[in-house]
């Protein structure tokens, strides 16, 4: 949420590096002659201290030998002989050749649970759009953290403590995922969700021991678009008894960008309540809201370029706030950006572009890790403003649990905007959820957040956290996951 600058920001979360890629008949150019939108994306990326050398992973002539629908997976060990053996840990990395593509290969990690292989299977999707899942893996909820000398240490609050977790680089062009054909870039959630569904079908064929396990989809930021789309596809395919039945039990969206037309309306209120702007400034900025709302309606009915126009119109609201407080860290308002940098995630690029690491993961020498791709970002611009909350009521009505959580210090996908779209959903429990009491979410005897819930729907505001809840509050995030999957987050505060 926020101009191209924001979108990336937002994507953000993705937060992460960007690039440009192009071909003759598109807005891309082989030599990044960044247009205005891409320039903002590049600026955003630099705020994360990410400077990828490649705009998009592409290998010429890679059509040869492409076998659609095939998974190639291998075990690996980053930590060598320290700690448990790789056999005990069950760490895997692989490529899946997407059947609905010319030559696209989707990269993923699988970390088996440190507790039990019978634990749920959790998929994590990083946002952007176009940011690699490795950003979350190494800085948020994966098994490891990266030290300054590029060695790895165990993350005691990694989500593999309670699940078999999959980190996916998607859509095509993200992270280590690549293609030799620019047409394999996805421009909407239909294409994104088809690729993810195809991958999950083949993944469970390759890991039949996990088919019986409960299955959850989680992610942050622009994953607020991805998650409802893939969850709805899985639910519908399960109902039609197509393919392997995926035991979908719930979805969790963290500081999501899900229903933008509503979420943009919350910016002036959030900024005012947190002292970022004055009452007069909030009133002036709020005058932009009707134009945003009208443009979003036109997008929903007409699609195409009207959606890009709507995105730009709504982004003015966010950008106006940034002109007032230019050095604010819009992912965590407690922090100021020092110089151009708000965060430093550069070590993930340094680590993953080492040849010995790529070899261990089965990544070819010709590929570079792309933290965040401006090519993916740009091609999804018409998708950005669309309402993806529209599919969630159907999930709720089918008993699939939905958790929306948000760090209270995030501006770009703030908790007020997220709660607004949650309240706006039309489903049988809408009024009961609105009337639900707000209770404390307690971890280790301390209040860690505030919770509202009714039936399968829960909303959790996380204290002392910004956009990246598992990074800012790792213990709380892991307890949240455990409590939610265990059915203990619904009606009472958790303290297991």
Rounded Cα gap, residues 495 and 23, in angstroms: 54
Nearest of 106, 105, 131 to residue 52 by alpha carbon: 131
Q: CA 141, CA 138: separation in Å to the nearest integer?
A: 7
The conformation of residue 134, written as its DSSP 8-state character, comes to H
Q: How many whole angstroms separate alpha carbon 77 and alpha carbon 79?
A: 5
Q: Which of 6, 179, 467, 483 is catalytic?
A: 467
Instruction: Pick the catalytic residue from 22, 410, 453, 483.
Output: 410
Buried-state track 109-147, b at ≥16 Cβ within 10 A, e below 16: bbbbbbeeeebbbbbbbbbbbbbbbbbbbbbbbbbbbbe
Question: Tokens 């529209």 label which residue?
Answer: 390
Q: Which of 8, 221, 373, 458 is catalytic?
A: 221
Q: What is the DSSP string of 326-380?
A: TTB-TT-TTSB-BTTBS---HHHHHHHTSHHHHHHHT--TT---BSB-HHHHHHT
CA 164 vs CA 119, 123, 360: distances in Å: 6, 9, 20
- Stated as kind and residue range, the H or E segment containing 82 is none
Token look-up 């706006």 returns 424
496 catalytic? Reply is no
Task: Answer yes or no: are the C-beta atoms of 395 and 402 closer than 8 Å.
Answer: yes
Q: Catalytic site residue 22? A: no
Q: How far apart are CA 467 and CA 203, in angstroms?
A: 30
User: What residues form DSSP beta bridges with 171?
Assistant: none
Q: Report the DSSP pairing between strands 215-221 and 121-125.
A: parallel
The rounded Cα 199 to chain-centroid distance in angstroms is 17
User: Does residue 242 have an active-site annotation?
Assistant: no
Closest CA to 188 of 446, 386, 356: 386
- In the 8-state DSSP scheme, what is residue 237? H
Residue 390 φ/ψ, nearest 5 degrees: -60, -25
Please tell me what DSSP assigns to residue 275.
T
Hey, which residues are catalytic here?
A: 221, 410, 467
């Amino acid at each position: 949420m926020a101009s191209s600058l924001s979108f990336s920001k937002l994507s953000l979360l993705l937060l992460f590096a960007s690039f440009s890629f192009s071909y003759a008949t598109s807005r891309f150019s082989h030599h990044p002659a960044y247009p205005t939108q891409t320039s903002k994306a590049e600026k955003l990326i630099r705020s994360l201290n990410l400077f990828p050398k490649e705009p998009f992973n592409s290998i010429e002539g890679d059509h040869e030998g492409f076998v659609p629908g095939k998974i190639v997976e291998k075990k690996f060990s980053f930590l060598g002989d320290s700690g448990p053996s790789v056999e005990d840990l069950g760490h895997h990395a692989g490529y899946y050749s997407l059947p609905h593509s010319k030559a696209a290969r989707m990269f993923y990690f699988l970390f088996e649970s440190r507790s039990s292989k019978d634990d749920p299977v959790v998929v994590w999707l990083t946002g952007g759009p176009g940011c690699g899942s490795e950003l979350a893996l190494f800085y948020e909820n994966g098994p490891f953290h990266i030290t300054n000398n590029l060695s790895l240490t165990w993350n005691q609050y990694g989500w593999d403590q309670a699940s078999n977790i999959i980190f996916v680089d998607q859509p095509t062009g993200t992270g280590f995922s690549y293609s030799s054909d620019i047409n394999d870039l996805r421009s909407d959630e239909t294409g994104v969700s088809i690729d993810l569904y195809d991958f999950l079908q083949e993944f469970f064929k390759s890991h039949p021991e996990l088919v019986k396990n409960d299955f959850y989809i989680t992610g942050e930021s622009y994953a607020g678009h991805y998650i409802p789309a893939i969850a709805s596809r899985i639910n519908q395919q399960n109902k039609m008894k197509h393919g392997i039945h995926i035991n979908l039990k719930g979805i969790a969206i963290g500081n999501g960008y899900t229903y933008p037309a509503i979420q943009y309306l919350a910016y002036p209120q959030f900024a005012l309540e947190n002292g970022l702007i004055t009452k007069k400034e909030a009133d002036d900025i709020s005058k932009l809201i009707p134009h945003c709302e009208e443009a979003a309606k036109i997008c929903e009915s007409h699609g195409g370029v009207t959606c890009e126009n709507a995105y730009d119109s709504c982004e003015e609201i966010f950008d106006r706030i940034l002109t007032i407080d230019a050095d604010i860290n819009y992912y965590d308002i407690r922090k100021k950006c020092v110089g151009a940098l708000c965060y430093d995630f550069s070590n993930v690029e340094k680590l993953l572009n080492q040849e010995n690491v790529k070899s261990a993961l089965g990544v070819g020498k010709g590929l570079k890790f792309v933290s965040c791709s401006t090519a993916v970002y740009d091609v999804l611009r018409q998708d950005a403003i669309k309402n993806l909350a529209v599919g969630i009521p159907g999930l709720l009505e089918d008993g699939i649990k939905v958790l929306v959580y948000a760090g209270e210090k995030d501006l770009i996908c703030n908790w007020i905007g997220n709660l607004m779209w949650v309240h706006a959903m039309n489903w049988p429990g809408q009024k009961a959820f609105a009337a639900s009491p707000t209770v404390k979410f307690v971890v280790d005897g301390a209040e860690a957040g505030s919770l509202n819930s009714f039936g399968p729907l829960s909303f959790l505001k996380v204290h002392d956290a910004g956009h990246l809840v598992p990074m800012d509050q790792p213990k709380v995030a892991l307890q949240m996951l455990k409590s939610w999957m265990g059915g203990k987050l619904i009606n009472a505060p958790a303290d297991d």
